[in-house]
Chains A and B, each alone.
Chain A
């Protein structure tokens, strides 16, 4: 399998021109360089930071929080979403609460998390779980509600019990929706980890970016930002590769492949 698929040359060229313009403007105004260093210097500091192992600890910290938050959110939201989508009573009981909490910007929960969990990993992971859970939850509920009645009846006529049907029928039938939620939450997880690291962190890329800004080491600050961007890009790529494998049946089905 090709990892990057077809390469968009024109798009890549635009991106390079953007970097070149940045480089040019920054070099043209030395006074501004403290705030706006040339790309080449940013990349240089990025390399130095990585090879001096200064950043590795931060990357590991951020990735660790990201993974814990994202996976925990997946587990919780998929389970809860299946229950709420499948059992009408459970959904009508919780509908108002969901509609109230969902539109609230998730960062607003940070002070509450600090209050309860103090400043530390637990708090950052909790905030990430909270924010990531929504898109997964909403999509899982929609996916389960959309399952054809005939499919459930088929499972029942084969004597499949209600609980077994959740795993064998409901979960795979709703999986295209669930995956959509997972894809949205991927970006959200990284946002929340970085944000909370900026607010309460003593490690992690979010902390590093803000710390370097406060020390007026803007080269390093931008290097951190580049790294977060690369991290987001890489995680998204990885997700797409996994999705392509796991959901091959759905992708080919919706593409209308027939023999």
Chain B
């Protein structure tokens, strides 16, 4: 049984005027336990829509999403979505610790143990000593670290991430990528990652699904057999890395010309 299965998922929006536009068209793919899977596509292709459907935040027009064989209907218990806009997603009235504790609180675990766990995760994302700070006191990259710790504290079976590093500067982005890979390996979690950055997807993933422009469908599936642990310098200069990146880029731009 697959951990996450998306089958024939389509989503159309009704526009003002009555016409409906198709954002996502018949997308199918699977994610297995402890995989790092990315979805890459041009901006505005419907990647976020797809992820919102998988997270159960909006209902798909047709098709199904199954988690451990169970079809979802509303936000499932075992998935958590990390948003791109960390500054809009964090709770400004809660401290860093309060934010990370949120998921545990919802599950009814307010205990000494929960707090220790939250502090441990805050340490793991590299924010030790900032537990009592408020999110808005921190830089963008640090805020997204809080959001990641908050999601991981909830212990989701699949961590969904919607362009999580899209709003931070380039250097911070590289740091966050490495932090994420470390967490993914250490916590043995499963990640479904959406990005428009081809290199980022190749660098992070075990497998990539490349989406077309709107209405988006899967253009190709690509397995990434680059050695782990990955390294910003050696992995990115590996000829295999360059080849994979170029291949994906060719596919996306060829499709754009058609």
Contacts and interface: CB of A to CB of B under 8 A. Distances in A.
B249 interface: no
Interface string B185-200: 0000000000000000
Interface string B202-229: 0000000000000000000000000000
A258 interface: yes
Contacts of A157: 55-57, 75, 79-81
Interface in B151-210: 154
B111 to A, nearest CB: 18
B77 A159 contact: yes
A156 interface: yes
Nearest to B107: A159
Interface string A140-169: 000000001011011011111000100011
Contacts, number: 65
A232 to B, nearest CB: 30
A253 B136 contact: yes
A153 B75 CA distance: 10
B89 A259 contact: no
A257 B137 contact: yes
B91 A153 contact: no
A159 B75 contact: yes
Interface in B106-157: 106-107, 133-134, 136-139, 154
B92 interface: yes
Interface residues of A, number: 23
Contact of A160 (B85, B106, B136): B106
Contact of A249 (B56, B57, B83, B93): B93
Contact of B57 (A156, A160, A169): A156
Contacts of B138: 258-259
A156 B75 contact: yes
Interface residues of B, number: 28
Contacts of B133: 259
Contacts of A150: 83, 85, 88-89
A154 B83 contact: yes
Nearest to A165: B106
State the main secondary structure of chain B at its contact with A. Answer: loop
A259 B107 CA distance: 32
A220 interface: no
A259 B138 CA distance: 7
B102 interface: yes
A250 B52 CA distance: 30
B136 A151 contact: no
Nearest to A160: B106
A164 B106 CA distance: 9
A252 B89 CA distance: 19
A111 interface: no
A159 B106 contact: yes
Nearest to B84: A150
B154 A158 contact: yes
A259 B93 CA distance: 17
Which of the listed residues B77, B85, B93, B133 has the most CB atoms from chain A within 10 Å of its own CB? Answer: B93
Contact of A250 (B80, B93, B106, B154): B93
A250 B91 contact: no
A19 to B, nearest CB: 43
A257 B133 CA distance: 11
A257 to B, nearest CB: 6
B8 interface: no
B103 interface: yes
A159 B67 CA distance: 15
A151 B80 CA distance: 14
Given A249-B93, A253-B134, A151 B106 contact: no
5 contacts: A158-B106, A168-B106, A173-B91, A175-B93, A249-B92
Task: State the 4 A-B residue pairs at the shortest beta-carbon distance, nearest first.
Answer: A150-B88, A157-B81, A172-B93, A148-B88
Given A156-B57, A157-B75, 5 more contacts: A153-B81, A159-B75, A173-B91, A249-B92, A252-B134
